[in-house]
Structure 1
Amino acid sequence: MTAPIPPRARHRSQPRPPEDWEPERLSAGPWRLIIRAGTVFVVLAAVGIGLGAIRSSWAPTPSADTASAPPQSPQAAVPSTPTVSAAPSRGDGAKPAVTAAEAKRVHDRFQRELSAAQLDLDDKAVGKLEQGLALEMTLAGFETARMRDSEVAAGIWPGTKVWVPRRTADTGDWFVAAMHQPGVARVTDVLVRTGKGWRLAASTADTRNPVPELPAIAVDADGYAMSLDEFASGLRGTPKQVALAHLRSLERATKDERFAEGPWTSTAVRRWQRERAQLRKAGWDLDLSYRLTGKVRALRTADGGALVWYSARSTEVRTAKRPGTTVTLKGSAAVRTANRPFAQKASATYGRMYVAHVPPIGSTEPIRVMGDWTDVLESHGT
C-alpha cells in the first residue's frame, strides 16, 4: 500500500492559481510548494524596482533523457494551417520488457528509493535512479539545499496509474506513471530502460486546483499504449514541432495563439514582458534563450491526439546598459550567488520539462501545456 506524503512535503498553505501571481510585487515570501515525487520547488515573486535596485529571479515555470542530443534552438513551428498528412506513425512494435503491473512495481520502488535519497541529499543514490537532465536538475536542487542548510522534502505520491507502450527502434522500452493527490498536484514521471536499469528521464507537476484531467491514453487490444516518434503526423503539429513552438514563444516572450491560456504559456509570456519592461526602465536588457534538449516522447491519446513530454535548457541574461542600478537574483538563483547585487550582468540557467496535449489534425482545440518541472542549474553575475 502506498505511503502517504509526509506533512512536511505538503503545501504550507493553499496555493493561489498561477495566474494570480504578480511579478511586480516586492514581497519575496514563497506562495507555493511544488512537489515532484517529494522534491520541493519554491516559486517566488519575480521582479521589483525600488530605491535604485532591481530584485529579479523569476523562473517562469516551476515538473532528461537517455540520449544527450545537442540542444536545439526553437526554430521550427507548428504549422499555422494544418495540412493533410500521411497516416499517424504507429508505436505498436515489439512487446515491451514489462507489463503494466510490473512497471508499477518498478515505479513504486523508484519512489521509495528516491524519497530516501532526498532525505539524505545522497548524490550517489539518486545517480542510480535518474539520468540526463532530470539527474542534473535533482543534483542542482540538492546543492541549493546544502547551500541553504535546509532539507529537501521527501514523500511518496499516491494513486499511481501506469501506461506502457510497445517497444520501437526509436524509443526502446519506457513507460509513464501518473499520480494525483487531490488539492495538491498531479505528477507524471517518464521512466526509460537502460543498460543499468530503469531511470527517470522526465517529470512534470500541475498544481492547479482543480487540476485538469489528463486526456485518456489510447491502448491496443493487449492493453499497451501507442508510442509516437517526434516526427509523427496526424496531429496539429508533430511532437517536435509543438515542443519547438512552445519554447520559441517563451524565448521571444510572444504569445502563440495555437496554445491554450495557462501558467506555462500566456501567463509566462506576460511575466517576461513585464520584467523586460521594468528592466528597460532601469537601464537593463533581458535576453532569453530556450533550447530543446534530449528526446521528445509521445503517447497516442484516445481522441487521436498525443501527450508529449519534452525538455529544455533556458538561460536568462540581464545586462546593464547604463550605470546606477543593480540586480539581485531571487530564489535558488540568489542562493547560488549568495544574494549578491550585480551592477553589470546577472544570468541564470534552468532545466525545464513539460507535458502537452496535442489535438489531432483538423481539431479546433488548442494545444494545452499540462505540467512542468523547473530547477535552477547555475547562476552568475558581475
Structure 2
Amino acid sequence: MFWLVTRTPSDPSLAANPTPDPSETGWEKAPSSPSPTPAPSRSTPEPTPKPTKNGTARSPRPEATPTNTNAKRPRTETRTTPPPADPPAAGSGSPQLTAKEAYGIHGRYQRGLSVAQARKDQAAMAKLEHGLALEMTRAAFKTAEMQKTSLATGIWPNPQVWIPRHVEGAADWFVAVSHEPGVARIVDVMSSAPGGWRLVASAADTRATPARFPKIATDGEGYATSLPENATGLSATPRQIARAHLASLQNAEVDPLFDEGPWTSEAALFWQQERGRLEQADWKLTLSYRLEGPVRALRTSDGGALVWYGARSTELREAVREGAKVKLKGSAAVRTRDKAFARSVSATYGRMYVTHVPPAGSNEPARVLGEWSDVLESHGD
C-alpha cells in the first residue's frame, strides 16, 4: 500500500495514497510517525476482514488486508468430518489417488502449516508447499519476523476434495475446498512432487457472501476431469483466460470478457485512478503482471471449467521531477523499514487466482472467484 500527500511547510515529505485499496483512495497528510498495522494476537484467531465499499477487503489491492499474508491460512478452531468412501480405482490401472488418501494429504498439510506458522519455520515450509506458493509463504514469515508479530494458527474445517484422473506424463493433483460461512471460502490445490505432495496454489474469497461456486463435474466413478491449458469448448482456453485477466490488470483496462468484481473491473478502475493521482504529484506508475507456473483446469458440470493460475506482479512508481516523496505502508513498508523515497519505489507481489470459464457459446462472462496475494519484496531510492 502507498500514501501520497501534499507538501506542507512543516512536513516536507510526501507519501503515496494507499494502493490499491479503494477504501483508502483519498489524499491525506502522512502521519509524522506512521506505525505498521498491528498483527493478530498469538492466542486469538485473526478476525475476518470486513467488506469495504468495493465488496471485499481483499481486493483489488496486492495485500487485501493487513492480515492478507495469511488470508488463505487457518483461522478457525479444528473440526473434523469423516471423509466419504473412496471412489473405485480407475479402470485403466494407472496410478490414481483415492479420496481417503486426498483427505489425509490435505489434513497433514493443514496441520503442518499451522505448526510452521506458529514457529515461523521457513525450513518446514519446503515440505509443505512448492513454487510460488512456497515463496509467498516464506515472504510472509520474513515480514512477520521483521515486524516482530505472530501468525494465527488452526485449520480450516470440513474440506471437500475433487480428484482428477491420472494423466500420463503429468503430475497428479487435486483440489480441496473449505467454506466457513461468514469467514471465507478457501480453495487449495495440492500436487505431487519429487519430495511428496505439496500445496502449489490457493485462493480465497473473504466476502460475507462469496460468489456462487460452480459444481465440478465428476464421472461415474467419482473422478473429476482435468483439462489442458489449451482446452477448447470454452469461451476461451484456460491459458487465454489467465493471460487476458493479467493483461487487464497490467493495462488498467476493464475487459468485458470478465464479470465485474474486486479482482477484475474494480482493480482495473482503481489503477486508473491511482495513475491519475500519481501524475498530479509528478510521479508515474508502471505495472507488470507476469503469468508464473502451470495453468490448471477442471471441467465443471455446466460444460465450462475452473482455472487456477499464478502471477508475479510489480508496481513501479517513479518521480518525473523532484518534489514529492513516497512512503510505503503495510507489509511493503516493513520490508523498506518505513522509509520515504524521492526518486522511485517498487513492490513485487505473488498472486494466485481461481476463475470460472463458461462453455463456448455462453453469454456469461468469466468470473474470478478468489485470490491470494503476498508482498515478496519492495525497494526504493
TM-score, length of structure 1 as denominator length: 0.80
Match of 2:235 in 1: 236
Where does residue 35 of structure 1 map in the other structure? 71
- The answer to whether residue 264 in structure 2 is matched with residue 261 in structure 1 is no
Partner-residue secondary structure (3-state), 1:106: helix
Within 5 Å, which residues of 2 pair with 1:169-184? 169=168, 171-184=170-183
Tell me the distance in 2 between the aligned counterparts of 1:93 and 1:344: 62
Q: Distance in 2 between matches of 1:132 and 1:20?
A: 27
> Is the 2:205–2:370 Cα contact (8 Å) retained in structure 1?
yes
Partner of 1:197: 196
Q: Distance in 2 between matches of 1:266 and 1:214?
A: 19
Structure (1/2) with the larger strand percentage: 1
Aligned residue for 1:152?
Answer: 151
Query: 1 CA distance for matches of 2:68 and 2:132?
Result: 24
Letter in 1 for 2:45: A
Structure 1 distance, partners of 2:347, 2:69, is 21
| Unmatched 5+ stretches in structure 2 | 1-41, 60-64, 77-89
Give the partner amino acid of 2:71. Answer: I
Q: What residue identity is the alignment partner of 1:232?
A: A
Determine what percentage of the aligned residue pairs are the same residue: 54
Matched, 1:351 2:353: no
Quick check: 1:8 aligned with 2:44? yes
Q: Which residue of 2 aligns with 1:142?
A: 141
Q: Distance in 2 between matches of 1:13 and 1:304?
A: 33
Q: Could you tell me how far 1:271 is from its partner in structure 2?
A: 1.2
**Residues 145 and 92 of structure 1, relative CA distance in 2, 3 Å threshold:** farther
Match status 1:129 vs 2:125: no
| Separation in 1, partners of 2:240, 2:151 | 35
Aligned to 1:168: 167
Secondary structure of 2:309's match? strand
- Give the CA deviation at 1:10: 3.5
1:270 aligns with 2:269: yes
Do the aligned residues in 2 keep the contact of 1:9 with 1:35 (CA within 8 Å)? no
* Corresponding position: 1:215 with 2:251: no
The change in CA–CA distance for 1:30 and 1:37 in structure 2 (over 3 A counts) is: closer
| Displacement after TM superposition at 1:18 (Å) | 3.9
Shift of 1:30: 4.9
Deviation at 1:14, TM superposition (A): 4.0
Aligned partners of 2:225 and 2:93: how far apart in 1?
11
* Residues in 2 aligned to 1:119 and 1:224: alpha-carbon distance in whole angstroms: 35
Determine if contact 2:69/2:140 at 8 Å carries over to the other structure. no
1:101 corresponds to: 100
Cα contact 1:93–1:168 (8 A) shared by 2 = no
Cα 1:180–1:147 change in 2 (3 A) is: same
Work out whether residues 56 and 206 of structure 2, in 8 Å CA contact, stay in contact via their aligned partners in 1: no
Corresponding position: 1:226 with 2:225: yes
Number of the residue aligned with 1:370: 369
| Separation of aligned partners in 2, 1:353 and 1:20 | 16
Q: Distance in 2 between matches of 1:373 and 1:357?
A: 16
Q: Do the aligned partners of residues 341 and 128 (structure 1) sit closer, same or farther apart at CA in structure 2, a change above 3 Å counting?
A: same
The aligned amino acid for 1:252 is N
Letter in 2 for 1:266: S
| Cα deviation code 1:100-124 (max 9, x no counterpart) | 1210111011100110000000011
Distance across 2 between alignment mates of 1:268 and 1:314: 13
> Aligned partners of 1:112 and 1:95: how far apart in 2?
30
Alignment-derived partner of residue 118 in structure 1 = 117
What displacement does 1:7 show? 7.3
Partner Cα separation in structure 2 for residue 218 and residue 264 of structure 1: 25
Against the structure 1 CA distance between its residues 161 and 95, is the aligned structure 2 distance closer, same or farther, given a 3 Å change threshold? farther
Q: Deviations over 1:290-312 (max 9, x none)?
A: 00011000000000000000000
| Cα pair 1:162 1:177 within 8 Å, conserved | yes
CA shift, 1:31, in A, is 9.1
In structure 2, what is the equivalent of residue 66 of structure 1?
Answer: none
Q: CA deviation at 1:16?
A: 3.4
Local SS of the residue matching 2:273: helix
Query: 1:165 and 1:20 mapped to 2: Cα distance?
Result: 31
Equivalents in 2 of 1:285, 1:117: separation in Å?
Answer: 40
Report if aligned partners of 2:69, 2:137 keep a CA contact under 8 Å in 1.
no
Alignment-mate amino acid for residue 221 of structure 2: D
**What amino acid is aligned across from residue 370 of structure 2 in structure 1?**
G
In structure 1, stretches of 5+ residues that fail to align are 1-5, 24-28, 41-90
The 1:20–1:292 alpha-carbon spacing in structure 2 relative to 1, beyond 3 Å, is: closer
CA displacement, residues 150-200 of structure 1 (integer Å, 9 cap, x when unaligned): 011111001200000011135321000000010010000000011211001
- Normalised to the residue count of structure 2, the TM-score between the two structures is 0.80
1:307, 1:94 → 2: CA distance?
27
Q: In structure 1, how many angstroms separate the alpha carbons of the residues matched to 2:94 and 2:229? A: 20
